[in-house]
Chains A and B, each alone.
Chain A
Amino acid sequence: MGIIEAKDLVHEYYRRDEEGNVESIETAVDHVNLSVQPGQFISILGHNGSGKSTLAKHINALLLPTEGTLLVDGKDTSVEANELSIRKNAGMVFQNPDNQIIASVVEEDVGFGPENIGVPTEEIWTRVEKALKSVGMWEYRTHSPNRLSGGQKQRVAIAGVMAMEPKCIILDEPTAMLDPDGRKEVIKTAHELNRTKGVTIILITHYMEEVVDSDYVYVMEKGSVVMKGTPREIFSQVDALKQYRLDVPQVTLLADELRKAGMDIPAGILTREELLEALCH
């Protein structure tokens, strides 16, 4: 049994007029089936409005299914009694670092989560230390968050989630507002936590380059999963991705163009080393 199991998950947004009558219904998540194994690094791609963030918000019970079920670590999100344990087990990091940091000192911000769920003070500090070290921000523990770079702020936000000792972390476009350095920092941190702590990672992103090292990729369109597979399987379908308003990494695109022009190059090239190898073999 996976750590996240979605079965025919549906989410509908209702728009109501002033009297509260339903004006229109929008199906943001449409019968999604998903199975994530513990310790996997999963990416979800999809254009703006494809339903990927709505799906993500189900994983820590911020939204509840209209139909279907979602199990997180075996617990049904629609059962109210499960809410706290689900939120502890599935931590969420959002796009804008400035909306997630609340305290005026880094270590206090990281300690906020555990304190909020009643972790004893002694243990809070052990957790804060562990969490900050795991994202490489320990030396900034006494700094003020507003003096940090975007990438550092996001790492603090991730530490805040780590301090809850979750089994999985959902990162909803964590790099959208960062510069290239900050982006690398955050993705590297996510991979490290996945590798060294065994945390399951769900990464939602628009940047194709960030997806290359995932174990498995889902592509969403109009609320449904329309493609799934390893990064290589996904990125060998350049035309299909374009049709879903997505992209492929630049070298993948170049390799594809060269193949179309008649060169003998395998499909699904992901890195420049691979393309170099294919050209120079």
Chain B
Amino acid sequence: MSLILDHVSYTYSVGSGYEVKALNDVNLKIEDGEFIGIIGHTGSGKSTLVQHLNGLIQATSGTIYYNGADIYDKDYDRKELRTQVGMVFQYPEHQLFETTVFEDVKYGPKNQGLDDKQATLRAFEALQKVKFPEENYDASPFELSGGQKRRAAIAGVIAMKPAVLILDEPTAGLDPKGRDEILGLIREMHDKSGITIILVSHSMEDVANYVDRIIVMEKGAPLFDGAPREVFANYKKLEEIGLAAPQVTYLMHDLYDQGYPVDPQATTVEEAKQEILRVFGNR
């Protein structure tokens, strides 16, 4: 059970004179139940990459295997793939359109061909999962606060019971608390249901705090791929390509460079705190 990208390349505007190679020979394996962060600056190919995973964009060359089957096969059921690999786009609340939140969440499962009763159950389950307040189930999506709208939009995708959930910048425009709530929710869904999560983000702090594996995209291909501490150890290179490691990583490196025996790879506030207390604690 996995997603495999085999020599995937994608070129925009082929033959127009404005060809842009958005993906350049990408080879990746995403296992079941992973929690992955994809980072990269605007134009690095990260959005193009995830849009390949559920067949929204077809590779110019190379292929993608989902659970062992080639998704570009003639007979492959790509509609089914889209329910298996759910995608929450940036500012997903712009896509809410039904008259009530509940109807909006039901739309996906109904579209999958489930009957009304089953779709209702799915919607109920999904709204509970995202901790959407019950008293607002029948509210118009347009009356909700930013954070609630985003929850409703995520519920709409979860209601289709995807095995893989891709979220493109799910916290853009939210305040710090709202951001922590949404990310905490995603983490909880991952831990409880074992769903594979792919989080596209340009916030290094968010990614460091939540994911198990980071893929850094640069010029259409993965530049680094590993656990947050491994990836952020390359903070100088990350800076060169317009990204940055979390603030604490810099501090830990500064301390290390000045001769203090701290572990420079600490990437979260908690890790840094423990390291500093360990080394400086008795002063």
Contacts and interface: CB of A to CB of B under 8 A. Distances in A.
Interface of A: 46-49, 95, 149-150, 173, 176-182, 206, 208-209, 242, 245-247, 249-251, 253-254, 257-258, 261, 263-264, 272, 275-276, 279-280
Nearest to A273: B254
A264 B281 CA distance: 10
Interface in B178-221: 178, 202-205
B177 interface: yes
26 contacts: A47-B176, A48-B147, A48-B178, A49-B146, A95-B173, A178-B42, A179-B242, A180-B203, A180-B204, A180-B244, A181-B41, A182-B42, A206-B174, A206-B176, A245-B175, A246-B176, A246-B177, A249-B247, A250-B248, A254-B276, A258-B276, A263-B283, A272-B250, A275-B251, A279-B276, A280-B255
User: What 9 A-B pairs come out closest when comparing CB atoms?
Assistant: A245-B177, A47-B175, A247-B176, A181-B242, A250-B247, A179-B202, A48-B146, A272-B251, A179-B41
Contacts of B176: 47, 206, 208, 245-247
Contacts of A47: 175-178
B247 A251 contact: yes
A266 to B, nearest CB: 15
A52 to B, nearest CB: 10
B243 A180 contact: yes
Contacts of A177: 172-173
B48 to A, nearest CB: 15
Contacts of B147: 48
B39 to A, nearest CB: 9
B74 to A, nearest CB: 36
B178 A251 contact: no
Interface residues of B, number: 37
A261 B247 contact: no
A206 B175 CA distance: 6
B183 to A, nearest CB: 13
Interface of B: 41-43, 145-147, 172-178, 202-205, 242-244, 246-248, 250-251, 254-255, 258, 260, 269, 272-273, 276-277, 280-281, 283
Contacts of A245: 175-178
Contacts, number: 98
A173 B175 CA distance: 11
A257 B281 CA distance: 13
Nearest to A272: B251
Given A245-B178, A279-B280, A176 B173 contact: yes
A250 B273 CA distance: 11
Contacts of B248: 250-251, 254
Given A180-B244, A206-B176, A245-B175, 17 more contacts: A47-B176, A48-B147, A180-B243, A208-B176, A242-B177, A246-B175, A246-B177, A249-B247, A254-B248, A254-B276, A257-B269, A258-B273, A258-B277, A263-B276, A263-B277, A272-B250, A279-B276
From B145, B244, B260, B272, residue with most partner A Cβ within 10 Å: B272
A58 to B, nearest CB: 21
A280 B172 CA distance: 37
B280 A254 contact: no
B119 to A, nearest CB: 30
Contact of B251 (A179, A257, A276): A276
Nearest to A261: B277
Nearest to B253: A272
